[in-house]
Structure 1
């Protein structure tokens, strides 16, 4: 076990796929739930809260097709879901994905502020820019805005949203029965924004939220994504295949935050990781092997083709993985997959199995002690501030993580033994928003 020299504690998000993150996970569970069953999702949220996770995080996409994972083919709209979970939980943060490409600032600012009120200060917004042409076709377009345009739109979107939230100052609501005055008018300010993409008058029609504004999460690892995160995010979800890659990303993102005039400790880096937990190493390895024997390679190829922006099905499965030029799609994830294939000398078939199984995120197979060793190394050697946990099989792998890994992390002083604060900002160690 590495020596404990750090006083920092890990931050843990639960990235929720109701049927498990591994493409084959739903085939191995003994308790198959449904991604549209609110009772099932409440059970998962309560498990995560009992395990003291910082966040219950849900992804989203604005398009679907029959080749998607069962968890993502049909699912509840995130803000609707989290509003329901807010009244069934007390401490865990509630993070929802929403796109700046096909939304408007006023509506999203109001929605997330509502979630922050309903949850009493536990809301977080995972800011994304959509990249699929399938999404464009659901919003009266045939094509997707270019990468640079999407990020320019996102920057303005965030600036307007922040101003809307800031428009309600502390003390704006001050009921005075004697004078009949309910609001302090001078503490409620309009936005009067006219920019390249948006025109918003304001003020927002909801009072200042408990956190001042929800926690901002971003997941883009391209150059534009990192620059946006350095200026505006408080949590970054990323994918790093090795400690060296994680350290390079960590350094880059923290340095950019410093250059943007921010305290780098107020930007938390949480890579996604799929822990395959076993009571013994042999148990964990057997679970991982079983999952991979059930992978549908054709489905993996379809996922790779969608990410690469080209049809890979005509290439030899046991041949090399093709390189791809910088494109308009999900640049950072494609580069990670290509680099992984080169580093590990993977064939197209092998990469398709990995992509289908973990979708490019790191997999750790082992006992609670081995997983805790790994997490401690990443924390102490500045590869991460914590992790976004992606259980392969639900609920079995989540149960094992909470039963075995969490107590081991607590024993090492790396993870909380109780929630200390009532807001997500407080539990993440982030400063109050002024």
Structure 2
């Protein structure tokens, strides 16, 4: 029986801030290259050299303006404002790589499945079968208004619609069979119409006739990523997810999520091995532990408390400026827009009984996901401990410093994981899905 292998996926945003809201201010940050294609080509090459399974772009279609009713803090202090469209960046990154998976975030609430299916199938063709779709239902009214939606549907409705969107997309992707394209110049036969059919999908919210104009792509359909933490989100992920992006602070919480999620998959006729659970982790590496801690202290000192409050406001769907920063975080009301986000924030701060203001500053350093600080060996020890004790199947790495953290991790930590036999030395599959299953 093949030894279980760790999966690594890189978290990217076309934003000054990803999980660490102060990292763009670091002297070694390449923030001034944000709008250049060379920046994105470089990081794709670095991550492929490090044999990462995939990279993916988190995305936000708007500017959070809940904090004090303005977007001034988010824009002025460099929060999560997505400056570029990842659907344009992925082909650029595909051209300079051959193996690494390429993922993007796309909302089932704002986009019709025909357009989504066409775009994703095209990207899968252009990357030779390396595309992943991070499926989100979206929860932000800020984004909804940019798509002409005045009132966001409730969570249950959004997920019910998302099920229909995935069903419709699958029907569209399957509207072309393998081998439909003939390219027979001598007989003038371009394709076999008997291998093309209408989708004819009709649900409560979604209707599409098809067939898709784009022939069947190398993977047939993209790898499905998902990050729902709520009860309904977990059910959706158990049905569809192949890579699940999660965020817990403690090992015990990761193990509880892992067991709960894997246990749900049988209901949908799926084996637990068909989905990889990947918690988010920030990493700060140093030649010695003391150097690593000095580096972490410095980059963490660059965060802005008000930006943390503004970012938390956006995630929770409420203006936190109306609360006293000195009140216990646990006293916040729980009827906010994203229950999953609130649960993560409470989970990440309960051990220290943080106030709202303290949690905001902590949130600004890593959005309350674990920040692993140490030598390459110590980081590898931490990863192996979580992986071997079935707290996860691998990790989503988020950059404390871009691109330096990824460069350092690939150069110093990956070889240790390879030597221990828990991470690949070479890609073995022809597609992203094949590499995930290999």
Where does residue 38 of structure 1 map in the other structure? 37
- Counterpart-to-counterpart distance in 1, 2:267 and 2:285: 39
Where does residue 266 of structure 2 map in the other structure? 258
Deviations 1:186-219 (A, max 9, x none): 2111111222112100000011000111101001
Query: What is the deviation of 1:349?
Result: 2.2
Where does residue 160 of structure 1 map in the other structure? 168
Secondary structure in structure 2 of the residue aligned to 1:101: coil
Query: What is the deviation of 1:284?
Result: 1.1
- Counterpart-to-counterpart distance in 2, 1:369 and 1:392: 18
Query: What is the deviation of 1:341?
Result: 2.3
Where does residue 67 of structure 2 map in the other structure? none
Where does residue 13 of structure 1 map in the other structure? 9
Secondary structure in structure 1 of the residue aligned to 2:343: helix
Where does residue 58 of structure 2 map in the other structure? 59
Where does residue 202 of structure 2 map in the other structure? 194
Closer, same or farther in 2 for the Cα pair 1:384/1:6, shift >3 Å?
farther
Equivalent positions of 1:82-121 (< 5 A) are 82-121=90-129
- Counterpart-to-counterpart distance in 2, 1:132 and 1:409: 38
Where does residue 268 of structure 1 map in the other structure? 276
Deviations 1:307-360 (A, max 9, x none): 333333343433311444554622212111112222222122221111111113
Closer, same or farther in 2 for the Cα pair 1:189/1:328, shift >3 Å?
farther
Where does residue 380 of structure 1 map in the other structure? 388
Residue pair 2:248, 2:348 contacting (<8 A) in 1 also: no
Where does residue 346 of structure 2 map in the other structure? 338
Closer, same or farther in 2 for the Cα pair 1:316/1:66, shift >3 Å?
closer
Contiguous gaps of at least 5 residues in structure 1? none
Closer, same or farther in 2 for the Cα pair 1:85/1:71, shift >3 Å?
farther
- Among 22, 35, 45, which residue is 1:24 paired with? 22
Query: What is the deviation of 1:305?
Result: 2.5
Structure 2 residue 278 is matched with structure 1 residue 279: no
Where does residue 149 of structure 1 map in the other structure? 157
- Counterpart-to-counterpart distance in 1, 2:361 and 2:21: 9
Residue pair 2:101, 2:130 contacting (<8 A) in 1 also: yes
Where does residue 357 of structure 1 map in the other structure? 365
Residue pair 1:100, 1:128 contacting (<8 A) in 2 also: yes
Closer, same or farther in 2 for the Cα pair 1:242/1:31, shift >3 Å?
closer
Deviations 1:238-278 (A, max 9, x none): 00111111011111111111221101100110111101111
Closer, same or farther in 2 for the Cα pair 1:327/1:314, shift >3 Å?
closer
Q: TM-score, normalised by structure 2?
A: 0.93
Closer, same or farther in 2 for the Cα pair 1:306/1:177, shift >3 Å?
closer
- Among 325, 328, 332, which residue is 1:317 paired with? 325
Cα RMSD, aligned residues only: 1.9
- Among 88, 93, 99, which residue is 1:80 paired with? 88
- Counterpart-to-counterpart distance in 1, 2:73 and 2:404: 25
Secondary structure in structure 1 of the residue aligned to 2:342: helix
Equivalent positions of 1:222-237 (< 5 A) are 222-237=230-245
Structure 2 residue 225 is matched with structure 1 residue 217: yes
- Counterpart-to-counterpart distance in 1, 2:237 and 2:46: 30
- Counterpart-to-counterpart distance in 2, 1:403 and 1:20: 24
Which of 95-104 and 400-409 deviates more? 400-409
Residue pair 1:35, 1:76 contacting (<8 A) in 2 also: no
Q: TM-score, normalised by structure 1?
A: 0.94
Closer, same or farther in 2 for the Cα pair 1:187/1:67, shift >3 Å?
farther
Closer, same or farther in 2 for the Cα pair 1:200/1:328, shift >3 Å?
farther
Closer, same or farther in 2 for the Cα pair 1:99/1:297, shift >3 Å?
same
Query: What is the deviation of 1:94?
Result: 0.3
Which of 18-27 and 355-364 deviates more? 18-27
- Counterpart-to-counterpart distance in 1, 2:232 and 2:29: 41
Which of 192-201 and 68-77 deviates more? 68-77
Secondary structure in structure 1 of the residue aligned to 2:329: coil
Deviations 1:291-318 (A, max 9, x none): 2222211111122223333333343433
Secondary structure in structure 1 of the residue aligned to 2:216: coil
Query: What is the deviation of 1:406?
Result: 0.7
Secondary structure in structure 1 of the residue aligned to 2:172: helix
- Counterpart-to-counterpart distance in 2, 1:147 and 1:324: 20
